[in-house]
Structure 1
């Protein structure tokens, strides 16, 4: 079995005056939200052994504020910055961990979330996949190369708002 944790970056700071979208940081609410998500992952014993993340500042900061222990392998990939669902799918097929956390951006992350599962979760925020939205999905496969659309079973879905 393989497990995917598909997370959108926490709330970013549009007023930070970043020189580019790629360099936009988290705002204070985003920092608190990412910290809350990390606590939730630990309390639910959902711990990744590999993290695949966009190189954008807001995804790197989300990763940092999660405060995950156990030193999962982290790979920051430029190809995950504003990636489409197909690019996310391809990156996942190359993953090596058993429990993979992917950190990315809308709209690709939201579309991928809806396409990975056989049945979407009953949560009022799933369809708009807000900042910090986190889907946990299990796949009955031995290797990520065998992952397919609509083949995953939802194990959990939550947002920072559920904990703050």
Structure 2
């Protein structure tokens, strides 16, 4: 793996018809966020070879809104990514590092945010970068990392829907 995209699902409705959190669908804004993020990542050459996607409705719908921008990508729906803590997310990333040149992990906060912050700390990111992520990890945000020869995730960028003009 030479690139990693850690992404949080797009904005979801406050509730689901069934009442369960895992079944919450995307909002209209969330659908727009996901489409725009997919387009932006693809325009920047950040197309995943493999996408690990939480099985929650909102993460699946986020991927569904993004996938046209990417073309043919192997996708794995993974129930264990639902609300997983950072250590579980990290194990998924590490288990797939030899399977893809560019890996996308599409999951939930706080796990995604914590893992991104851990990678930043481990790669000795600048205080300005740490401050940017300290402000939160909004819906449909993506932390972008280059993976060096030693396997360290080095910060490449952080995109939010607001940065892309989606509010």
- Residue matched to 2:54: 54
Cα offset, 1:2, TM superposition: 1.6
The residue that corresponds to 2:22 in the other structure is: 22
Equivalences, count: 157
Q: How far does the alpha carbon of each residue in 1:94-127 deviate from its partner, in whole angstroms, 9 at most, with x for none?
A: 1111100100100111000001122166387522
Deviation at 1:15, TM superposition (A): 4.2
What do you get for the CA RMSD once the two structures are aligned?
1.8
Q: Which structure 1 residue ranges, 5 or more long, are not aligned?
A: none
3-state DSSP of counterpart to 2:106: strand
- Whether the 8 Å CA contact 1:123–1:157 is kept in 2: the answer is no
For the 8 Å contact 1:5–1:102, the answer to whether it is kept is yes
Q: Cα distance, 1:53 vs. partner?
A: 0.9
| Residue 7 of structure 2 corresponds to residue 11 of structure 1 | no
- Measure how far apart 1:43 and its partner are: 1.3
User: Could you tell me which residue of structure 2 aligns to residue 160 of structure 1?
Assistant: 161
Aligned-pair distance for 1:16?
4.1
Measure the CA separation in 1 of the matches of 2:109 and 2:18: 19
Counterpart of 1:80 in structure 2 is: 81
Partner residue, 1:138: 146
- TM normalised by structure 2 equals 0.87
CA spacing shift, 1:40–1:124, aligned 2, 3 Å: farther
- Structure 2, unpaired ranges of 5+: none
Name 2:71's counterpart in structure 1: 70
Alignment check: 8 A CA contact 2:48 2:70 kept: no
What secondary structure is seen at the aligned counterpart in 2 of 1:135? strand
Residues 1:33 and 1:18: Cα distance change in structure 2 (over 3 Å) = farther
Whether the 8 Å CA contact 1:25–1:61 is kept in 2: the answer is yes
Q: Match of 1:161, SS?
A: coil
Deviation at 1:93, TM superposition (A): 1.2
**Equivalent residues of 1:55, 1:81 under 8 A apart:** yes
